[in-house]
A and B are shown apart, each in its own frame.
Chain A
Amino acid sequence: MSDYYTLITALPWLPELEQCKQLPLSRIALDRRLSMLSDQDSEQLMRLEGLYHPSQKALLDMTDKALVLEWQNGVNAVNSPVLAEKVHFHMEVRTLLAAFRSRAAGMDNPALFFGLGRWVAHIRKHWFEPGFSLEGLCPYLPEIKRLLDKGRSLELDAKLDQLLWQDLVRTEHEYNFQFEAVVCFVLRWGIAERRLQQDGALALRQFNQTTSRLLAKSGLDIQLQGNG
């Protein structure tokens, strides 16, 4: 347990997700600090990151069923039950979202729906009920459904990220100075990185700044204005 004291205090503080305007350290700097982990811990961390933040390519290339099977195999190889629970929670939230979207897309046969977690059978059984009869168990469900119905995808994404973030923060505090805290920090770092990459306005501003800088350097804008 004491192996993580140096690493935990070497990690910077991550502010609340909404207040996170830039990452406190780069992936290269983070990886340099994570090199303090043993080979086994590094392997576990890599596996958990892969499960929690799957690549878009993997999500697009694989069928739902194949994805679920791969996730199940991955979770079975996670040593910490606490961290496996974090991945499960993430998958369950995504499964709920997938169920809403599948139903909205016109899926009439719930038997064709694949997902992961405790609620899959329940979702299939209550397919035609507005909130799959899960509102009591998942207090965030009405809000998710409302955003989904209104087509406010960005807000929905933000809401889900906030949900996952809070779950990870709680675990990080509960397992202070343990491997679980390290993993939760890295997973939160991943959520923050994804959110910052999704910031459309910021991306546009950076694109404009970069374009202006490049045009100013090359003198191309003067030529363009001259031609105009």
Chain B
Amino acid sequence: MALGWAGLYGPMALGAIGSMIGCAQAGQAACGALLETETGHGRYIGIAAMPSSQSIYGIVVMFALNREITPENAPGLAAIGLLCGLALLFSAAWQGRCCASAINVSKIRPEIFGMSLAPAAIVEGFAVFAFIFALVISAGVPA
């Protein structure tokens, strides 16, 4: 039963932890870039917020899994919730590093700003995979 509850709250909690790590890293990089540049500050702050999307995915998965927890569905909820949460955690944390790199290079050459965001967008894509398929599979967990 405890595993069931962990699976229910896991996507949200783990996604939020990942977002904290990612946003903190990208935010720190943005702060440094503010010191070095005269313009384009808004875009740096915007990039720094990119890893926050994993928290939102986590909340949605949590609501999709939300049901009365029984001994029959607890293992399924735990497996889907915790694995999806871990995927969201790692994707947010590593997306933060991608965002920091994007900030660092676009500070030097603003014209490559869009291209420099490609790695962060690719990492976001994997987070979306984890999110979508968690929703799909959650339909098979007994209510």
Interface set of A (CB-CB < 8 Å, partner B): 2, 5-13, 33, 176-177
* Complex contacts, A2 vs chain B, CB 8 Å: 24-25, 28
CA distance A122 to B131 in the complex (A): 60
* Complex contacts, B104 vs chain A, CB 8 Å: 8-9, 176
Q: List 30 A-B contacts (CB under 8 A).
A: A2-B24, A2-B28, A5-B25, A5-B26, A5-B28, A5-B100, A6-B28, A6-B29, A6-B31, A6-B32, A7-B32, A8-B29, A9-B28, A9-B29, A9-B30, A9-B31, A9-B36, A9-B100, A9-B103, A9-B104, A10-B31, A10-B33, A10-B36, A11-B32, A12-B36, A176-B101, A176-B104, A177-B25, A177-B29, A177-B100
* Complex contacts, B31 vs chain A, CB 8 Å: 6, 9-10
Q: Closest CB of chain B to A15's CB: distance in Å? A: 10
Closest CB pairs A-B (n = 9): A9-B32, A5-B28, A10-B32, A6-B32, A13-B108, A10-B35, A6-B28, A9-B33, A5-B29
Q: Closest CB of chain B to A179's CB: distance in Å? A: 14
* Complex contacts, B100 vs chain A, CB 8 Å: 5, 9, 177
Q: Closest CB of chain A to B75's CB: distance in Å? A: 36
* Complex contacts, A10 vs chain B, CB 8 Å: 31-33, 35-36
* Complex contacts, B103 vs chain A, CB 8 Å: 9
CA distance A33 to B135 in the complex (A): 47
Closest to B103 in A: A9
Most buried by A among B31, B35, B103, B108: B35
CA distance A33 to B104 in the complex (A): 16
The A/B interface has a contact count, at CB < 8 Å, of 46
A11 and B25: CB pair below 8 A? Answer: no
A8 and B25: CB pair below 8 A? Answer: no
CA distance A51 to B25 in the complex (A): 32
Q: Closest CB of chain A to B102's CB: distance in Å? A: 10
Q: Closest CB of chain A to B101's CB: distance in Å? A: 7
B24 and A9: CB pair below 8 A? Answer: no
Q: Closest CB of chain B to A16's CB: distance in Å? A: 13
Most buried by A among B30, B33, B97, B104: B104
Closest to A177 in B: B100
* Complex contacts, A11 vs chain B, CB 8 Å: 32, 36
Name B35's contact: one of A5, A33, A176, A177 (CB within 8 Å). Answer: A33
CA distance A165 to B14 in the complex (A): 42
Closest to A33 in B: B35
| Interface bits B54-76 vs A (CB < 8 Å: 1, else 0) | 00000000000000000000000
Given contacts A7-B32, A177-B97, 10 further A-B contacts (CB under 8 A): A5-B29, A5-B100, A6-B31, A6-B32, A9-B28, A9-B103, A9-B104, A11-B36, A176-B101, A176-B104
Query: Which B residues from 76 to 119 make CB contacts under 8 A with A?
Result: 97, 100-101, 103-104, 107-108
CA distance A6 to B26 in the complex (A): 9
| Interface bits B11-24 vs A (CB < 8 Å: 1, else 0) | 00000000000001
CA distance A9 to B34 in the complex (A): 9
* Complex contacts, B101 vs chain A, CB 8 Å: 176-177
CA distance A118 to B2 in the complex (A): 59
Q: Closest CB of chain B to A192's CB: distance in Å? A: 16
Q: Closest CB of chain B to A5's CB: distance in Å? A: 4
Most buried by B among A5, A9, A12, A177: A9
CA distance A222 to B31 in the complex (A): 54
